[in-house]
A = this chain, B = another copy of it.
Amino acid sequence: MKGTVGELGEFGLIRELTSRLTTTPNVRLGPGDDAAVVAAPDRRVVATTDVLLEGRHFRRDWSTAYDVGRKAAAQNLADIAAMGAVPTAVLLALVVPAELPATWPIELMDGIRDECQVAGAAVVGGDVVRGDTITVAITALGDLRNREPVTRSGARPGDVIAVTGWLGWSAAGLAVLSRGFRSPRAFVEAHRRPEPPYHAGPAAAELGATAMTDVSDGLVADLGHIATASGVLINLKSADIDVPAQMSDIGQAVGVDPLHWVLTGGEDHAIVAAFPPDVKLPARWRVIGEVLKAPGTPHVTVDGAAWDKAGGWDHFGDTTAQGAGD
């Protein structure tokens, strides 16, 4: 594929993009009509949308188009899983500059398609328009399989807090990249391409999770959403939170407490949930804290104290590199 997006034209680009897609039995009508039709066996559909901007959420010199596609799909599909649902379909609204090489949106779509396949979903529709800033807005749909959605508001005092997936890897990778390095590769790769544990969301719902979310803004910030919605205090025990040795090494090299990445780094899309205390969790879940009565304002503590470094990320704030500061 040679030339630019402008040379290929809107319809030429849409043809290229849709020709690369795969399907699933849930796709009753794919791209090419006024709308798609997707199975919703549960008689309810779970839906979420997220938007990524070049310069703000990704950089073309740090991530390939394919990786941006994987990541953009992953963050939406993880939101579906975090409700306890199984992802079924994705729609893409894409803004691309006319002078962008046509290979870029095509490789982006390959990434979205492949991440959808990992999660069991398929791309069913989209829209492409010309604009100055590459903008990737994805909507993901999912099916609850006759279980109730696991919201953020059901955590009860006495519950345990458990997590599965990666924590702080993306933030450590970003710290490496923003200092001009390209290794250690495991962390850089984790920043470029998260691996959310999609299966863990529905599995947690089946195990009786009382509240759940994916870690997109950072563990403390996202558990803060659960604390607020549930009206509880959540206390994390740092001794129960793994900090990989390799992450400690990078932390030392760049002068960052690696626990900070683990507690405040988003974008790995780990799944964190509250469970009744007697739950029997599969091996890859780690109990990292407990749910307590909120003495005042619901919030999150680490070893009984506020985690006083900035957690999470306000998209309108001045911070441009999540978790990269100290």
CB-CB under 8 A for A135 and B132, given A29-B151, A85-B35? no
What residues on B are CB-neighbors of A34 within 8 Å?
48, 79-80, 82-83, 152, 212-214
| Copies of the polypeptide in the assembly | 2
Nearest neighbor of A6 in chain B, beta-carbon distance: B316
Binds B, one of A120-128, A155-163, A276-284, A297-305: A120-128
B29 touching A125 by the CB < 8 A rule?
no
A157 to B40: give the CA distance in the assembly, Å. 34
B137 touching A33 by the CB < 8 A rule?
no
- Confirm or deny: A259 has a beta carbon within 8 angstroms of a beta carbon on chain B: no
B315 touching A130 by the CB < 8 A rule?
yes
Cβ distance A326 to chain B, nearest Cβ, rounded Å: 23
- Confirm or deny: A2 has a beta carbon within 8 angstroms of a beta carbon on chain B: no
- Confirm or deny: A93 has a beta carbon within 8 angstroms of a beta carbon on chain B: yes
- Confirm or deny: A131 has a beta carbon within 8 angstroms of a beta carbon on chain B: yes
- Confirm or deny: A5 has a beta carbon within 8 angstroms of a beta carbon on chain B: yes
A139 to B10: give the CA distance in the assembly, Å. 20
Cβ distance A79 to chain B, nearest Cβ, rounded Å: 4
Contact of A129 among B43, B56, B83, B142 (CB under 8 A): B56
CB-CB under 8 A for A125 and B49, given A11-B314, A316-B6? yes
- Confirm or deny: A242 has a beta carbon within 8 angstroms of a beta carbon on chain B: no
What residues on B are CB-neighbors of A43 within 8 Å?
39-41, 43
B51 touching A137 by the CB < 8 A rule?
yes
CB-CB under 8 A for A132 and B130, given A38-B44, A151-B33? no
- Confirm or deny: A200 has a beta carbon within 8 angstroms of a beta carbon on chain B: no
A43 to B13: give the CA distance in the assembly, Å. 32
A45 touching B48 by the CB < 8 A rule?
no
- Confirm or deny: A73 has a beta carbon within 8 angstroms of a beta carbon on chain B: no
What residues on B are CB-neighbors of A124 within 8 Å?
47
A200 to B9: give the CA distance in the assembly, Å. 33
What residues on B are CB-neighbors of A41 within 8 Å?
43
A95 to B131: give the CA distance in the assembly, Å. 13
- Confirm or deny: A317 has a beta carbon within 8 angstroms of a beta carbon on chain B: yes
B130 touching A133 by the CB < 8 A rule?
no
A114 to B325: give the CA distance in the assembly, Å. 43
What residues on B are CB-neighbors of A29 within 8 Å?
149, 151
- Confirm or deny: A141 has a beta carbon within 8 angstroms of a beta carbon on chain B: yes
A36 touching B47 by the CB < 8 A rule?
yes
A47 to B49: give the CA distance in the assembly, Å. 13
A37 to B151: give the CA distance in the assembly, Å. 10
- Confirm or deny: A223 has a beta carbon within 8 angstroms of a beta carbon on chain B: no
- A-side residues, CB < 8 A to B, are 5-6, 8-11, 13, 28-29, 32-51, 53, 56-57, 79-80, 82-83, 85, 89, 91-95, 98, 124-133, 135, 137, 139-142, 144, 149, 151-153, 212-214, 229, 314-317
Q: Can you list 12 A-B pairs, Cβ within 8 angstroms, ordered by A?
A: A8-B316, A11-B314, A28-B44, A34-B79, A34-B212, A35-B47, A37-B47, A39-B44, A47-B89, A49-B137, A49-B139, A50-B127
